[in-house]
Amino acid sequence: MRCEVENQLSVESSSFGWHVLWYQGRRNKPLILDAQQMAAVLQNVDLKKQFNIIDVREADASKNAPLPDCSSINLPLSQCNDWAKKIAEQTPEEPFVNTEKPTLCICEEGKNSAAVASFLALELGFTQTFSVEGGLKQYAKEIDPRILL
């Protein structure tokens, strides 16, 4: 079940430290997937096409340990101000990221992707966001050891 928040204070952590967030208005919180659920998305060609798959790791980490058989959008958490502005200012004629598509956020351990998934849903109005519990480390351990982190 989706949990909605309205006018709520939240304290969340990322690799950059602790953040105090004020959620104004009504938005859906992101959902958490486990490695098996992530595999169900990534291993089904038709289902995978229906998702934005966002890798929130730094560009070099994303390049050195890519998701096998997967085209993802690299939006590093450290560059949030840059890409958030592009998303907020995008037009239907020139979209940067489709905010209406389900969006799966991925990182190494699951913490940064959870922060980005929350930000996308609560601040930028994405309709449905997901983060993977344990991130790529857990996915590699349970599903696909080809991912070398």
Q: Residue type for 37, please?
A: Q
| Domain with 41 in it | 28-142
- 46: CB partners within 8 A, 6+ apart: none
34: closest CA among 128, 143, 119? Answer: 143
Amino acid at 15: S
The answer to whether position 23 is within a domain reads no
pLDDT at site 95: 87
> Does 43 fall in a domain?
yes
Instruction: Evaluate whether residue 124 is within a structural domain.
Output: yes
User: Within a domain: residue 20?
Assistant: no
What is the reported pLDDT for 105?
Answer: 97
CB 77 within 8 A of CB 110: no
pTM above threshold 0.85: no
Q: What is the pLDDT of residue 13?
A: 72
Please classify residue 46 by burial: count the beta carbons closer than 10 Å to its beta carbon, then call 0-12 exposed, 13-18 middle and 19+ buried. exposed
Does residue 89 lie in a domain region?
A: yes
Please check whether residue 121 lies inside any domain of the structure. yes
Q: Which residues contact 81 (CB under 8 A, 6 or more apart)?
A: none
Q: The CATH number of the domain where 100 resides is what? A: 3.40.250.10
The reported pLDDT for the residue numbered 50 is: 93
The domain total for the chain is 1
pLDDT means per 10 residues, the chain with 149 residues, are 53 71 64 93 91 95 83 94 94 90 95 95 92 95 85
The answer to whether position 1 is within a domain reads no
Name the amino acid, one letter, at 48: K
Which structure tokens are listed for 1?
């079940």
pLDDT computed for residue 82 by the predictor: 95
